[in-house]
Amino acid sequence: MKSRQPWVVGVSGASGTPYAAAVLRGLLAAGESVDLVVSRASRLTLLDETGISFRDAHWREDLAAWLARGADGKPDTFDVSDALDDVRYWAAGDLAAGPSSGSYPAKGMLVVPASTAAVAGVALGLSKDLLQRTASVTLKERRPLVVAVRETPLNGQTLKHMVALDEAGAVVLPASPAFYAGATHIQDLVDFVAGRVLDAAGVPHRLYRRWEGELGGATPRSD
């Protein structure tokens, strides 16, 4: 039997919970297994941005509600029914959780969105919660780590932390949507960033239209 080898997705308390939902949907649609860590602070942004109160004890139903919601507030077409079977949830305070050890068979980690606090914590190796510990483990094991920073403007400290992460082998990926892919909805902009996160992880997807070398080639979608 093939052993389970998940991507760890760490959701920290920066604005941008729709980015996390889009990455999670993309991973599950690609047939990837997911281990999910939701920081304490991200529950505030999730509540603010979606109205969902995320609870450890009811993570499955709260995650289902989150993934079923598009960034425009409309239902997403993603079918969550069976997809959540490939998700394993770990409480952010559980420092004995599987992903806290380098011997846990994770493929790598995607921190999306990444707060400046998470960027600092990972750059400095603080491991103050499971998200930061898992990111440090990912670096020490030389596995892919993608950090989708969401803050603007950036102070010098955060810029230095981002350089430290880059030098440690992480992909620092600002949550910075582009407009050349023909976006007409907020979800298109979200999917562009989520698609770039999946590109950095080498996970196939069809979340955005790729640049094909022609100016004006990205005509808006008709729906």
Ligand X SMILES: Cc1cc2nc3c(=O)[nH]c(=O)nc-3n(C[C@H](O)[C@H](O)[C@H](O)COP(=O)(O)O)c2cc1C
In the complex, the residues that contact ligand X under the rule CB under 6 A are 12-15, 39, 41-42, 44-45, 48, 115-118, 150-151
Q: Whole-number minimum distance, CB 70 to ligand X, in Å? A: 20
Q: Whole-number minimum distance, CB 163 to ligand X, in Å? A: 17
Phi, psi of 80 (to 5 degrees): -85, -10
Binding residues for FMN: 13-15, 39, 150
Q: 48 or 72, CB closer to ligand X?
A: 48
What residue type is 46 in one-letter code? Answer: L
Q: 67 or 114, CB closer to ligand X?
A: 114
Binding residues: 13-15, 39, 150, 180, 196
Q: 39 or 50, CB closer to ligand X?
A: 39
Q: Whole-number minimum distance, CB 44 to ligand X, in Å? A: 4
In the chain, where does DSSP find H-type helix? Answer: 17-29, 42-50, 59-67, 80-83, 116-123, 130-140, 156-167, 186-201
Q: Whole-number minimum distance, CB 135 to ligand X, in Å? A: 11
Nearest-CA neighbor of 38 among 19, 52, 23, 59? 59
Q: Report how far residue 130's alpha carbon sits from residue 140's, in angstroms, rounded to the nearest whole number.
A: 15
